[in-house]
Amino acid sequence: MSELHPLADRYLDILYDGPPPELHARKALDDELAAQLTAGNHVCIRGFWRVGKTTMLKAVLARACERSNGAALFFDLRDPDRDDGLPQSVESVLARLTVKVSEFLKRVGAPELAPDPKAPLAVLGELAAPLYVGLDELISLHGLGPEKMVTLLDTLLSTPRNVHVAMVAHRHRDVDALFETALVQRPGMASCFVPPISDEELVELVNTPAQAEGVRFSDEALGALAELSGNRPWELVAFCALAAMKLKKGFTGELGPDAVDALANLDELAGSDEGQALVQNALRTLLTAMTPAERALCELLAVGGEGEVPEDAIAALESAGLVTTAEGLALNGAFFAGIVQGVAEGTIKVAVE
């Protein structure tokens, strides 16, 4: 039996298993992307780590099926037999996808159809219904090299008229240019960055689990969580879990901003897996996912320095929710801003960049 307050267990379940359907945010964007699929376009969902891309992908597939009475299959491009998840060849990816398509055909009552191992999605054109294919973790293909990666993407996106693909493309400085030309600029492709959640969605995500355990975050505490997390749901739920871990097991009542204020203490974060994951994700985003111009912009904003501000870097980071222009150009989220400042000033040492 858990020794934690039951609210901590609730937040941890959301953190590791994803939110239940009633707490899923960004439903309006789900509908927009589903409409793109049902209108005959492919869809590319972009963003940094842990912003809800996979959750959105699955929701978009489900919504497209509802809109069109179609069916969908979901495929994770990571190699399950390797610790790093990196496929070793185009053929290995297509072989696993062939198995997945065969299983799908049996599930929808068409076991007599056999996919072509060189183009597994082509056989789906034999079915009359609208069909949608979700491809997760495109970034795992980078080990194939640019040429083979583009060849594979062309194969996966050359689908029959009744089949459309929704995919997740991580932001990463090593593959961003390739994704831009091979996916985002591709005719018939709709793309978006996953934005932060709204203030209303933040309140629901925080207080719905809390109220089920007799706890409520005050308006001031909710404001502090928004300022800390930048309305990014994974960070938000992680901080809520850490706050709930500090509660006595039988606690009920209201939590004020004092329950939030100490959460960004790096020494304290280092004492839990969830805290360490927050720090590691922020560092990974800054050091490996951002382009040099984007990182330079973040460090400039964090330390209050002066310098040239590239407009494309501002636009990209604002779309991803890491920069805000609502009240002047600034980093969005006090925790992330603190990590950036620590790296820029050298108080946070990074061994490998």
d(CA 78, CA 84): 8
What is the C-alpha separation between 87 and 330, in angstroms, rounded?
A: 39
pLDDT tens digit string along 285-341?
999 999 999 999 999 999 987 777 789 899 999 999 999 998 889 999 999 999 999
Residue 1 confidence (pLDDT): 53
Residue 306: the pLDDT is 73
Q: Using a pLDDT cut of 70, give the percent of the chain over it.
A: 99
Average pLDDT, the chain: 94
CATH level 3 topology of 1-17+197-263 = Helicase, Ruva Protein; domain 3 (1.10.8)
User: How much is the average pLDDT of 149-175?
Assistant: 96
Q: Give this prediction's pTM.
A: 0.92
Neighbouring CB atoms inside 10 A of 47's CB total 23
d(CA 207, CA 216): 6
- CB contact at 8 A, 68 and 130: yes
Q: How much is the average pLDDT of 258-269?
A: 89
Largest CA distance in the chain: 66
Tens digits of per-residue pLDDT, 208-229?
Answer: 999 999 999 999 999 999 999 9
E strands in the chain: 42-47, 71-76, 131-136, 163-170, 189-193, 215-217, 253-255, 323-324, 330-331
Express each pLDDT in 163-209 by its tens digit. 999 999 999 999 999 999 999 999 999 999 999 999 999 999 999 99
Question: What span, in angstroms and rounded, lies between the C-alpha atoms of 121 and 125?
Answer: 8
Q: Is the pLDDT of residue 352 over 70?
A: no
> What's the CATH number for 27-193?
3.40.50.300
Which pLDDT belongs to residue 219? 97
Neighbours of 297 (CB within 10 A): 25
pLDDT band at 140, cuts 50/70/90? very high
pLDDT on residue 351: 64
Q: What are phi and psi of 226, to 5 degrees?
A: -65, -45
Distance CA 50, CA 336 (A): 13
Give the model's pLDDT for residue 177: 93
| Domain residue spans of the chain | 1-17+197-263, 27-193, 266-345
